[in-house]
Amino acid sequence: MRCMEESDDAIRRAVLSGDKDAYRVLVARYGQVVFRVAYRITGNETDAEEAVQETFLRGYQRLKTFEGRSSMATWIYRIAANCALDIVGRRKPEMGIGEENDPEKREVQLADSKAGPDRMLLSREIEAAQQAAMEGLTPVERTAFTLRHMEDCSTEEIAAALNIAPNAAKQAVFRAVKKLRQQLAPLWVNP
């Protein structure tokens, strides 16, 4: 049984030396974080669970390519963001045409979404508007905004996670903020 305090690099070397089970420590160490990021990007538990599994599968397959230029946590974080983004991208085409912009449908979707304790405190109207606004973002915009606004990532980290240029990452955040504000603006007419 491997010690949980063992360094990430030591575990990486052990895995690459043939000790597959050493990877369990990394999964246990970063599983919660990866789930949180995946959930915030995908917006639902099922997709988040799938993203977590895919993240650790990809991470294992690419372990040889990890060069240690960033921390293992950052590296896994990037993979998680990518996996979640891929899942969101795959999910989009499955939606019916017009469904995404249909307020009635959107309302139904939001009613089905799982509600956390914090969200219960928000008014249903604001919550629905926020969710609707988030749904209106492209996957890249949504991921960039989530990483920026909720995960407090820097532009460089977002760019690395999405494998895009820093300026493109910054523009994605700007576009997301603009769209969100436009969607949320009607709420302030009668706050």
Partner 1 sequence: MKHLNEIEMIEHYYKESADMAECERHLKECAACAKRYAELIRDLKMVKTPATPERGEDYGDQVWQSIRNSLPVYEAPASRWTWHQVWRPLGWVAACALLIAVGFLAGRHWERRQAPTVAVNADPHARQRVVIVVLGDHLDRSERLLVELNHAGNLDAAATAPLQNEAKELLATNRLVRQSVSDTGDLAVEAALDRLERLLVEVANSPGKLTEDDLKRLREEMNTDGLLFDIRVLRSHLYSQPNGSQDGSRSTKGALI
Query: What does the binding site for partner 1 look like in residue numbers (CB under 8 A)?
Result: 15-18, 20-21, 23-24, 27-32, 35-36, 39-40, 43, 45, 52-53, 56-57, 60, 63-64, 114, 116-119, 122, 126, 130, 133-134, 148-150, 154-155, 170, 173-174, 177-178, 180-181, 184-185, 187-188
Considering the complex, state which of residue 1 and residue 97 has its C-beta at the smaller distance from partner 1.
Answer: 1
| CA atoms of 14 and 31, how far apart (whole Å) | 19
Q: Which is nearer to partner 1, 24 or 105 (CB)?
A: 24
Query: Residue 65 gets which letter from DSSP?
Result: G
**Measured CA distances, 56 to 36, 51, 83 (Å):** 14, 9, 10
Q: Give the shortest CB-34-to-partner 1 separation in angstroms.
A: 8
Residue 98 C-beta: closest distance to partner 1, Å:
25
Euclidean distance between the first and the last CA atom of the chain, given in angstroms as a whole number: 57
By beta-carbon proximity to partner 1, the closer residue of 74 and 113 is 113
Smallest separation, CB 178 to partner 1 (Å) = 7
| Shortest Cβ 174–partner 1 spacing (Å) | 5
Between 64 and 93, CB nearer to partner 1? 64
CB nearer to partner 1: pick between 7 and 17: 17
Cα–Cα distance between 44 and 144 in angstroms, integer? Answer: 17
Measured at the CA of 190, the angle between CA 188 and CA 191, to 5 degrees, comes to: 60
Interior angle at CA 27, CA 152 and CA 25, nearest 5: 120
Q: How far apart are CA 80 and CA 52, in angstroms?
A: 7
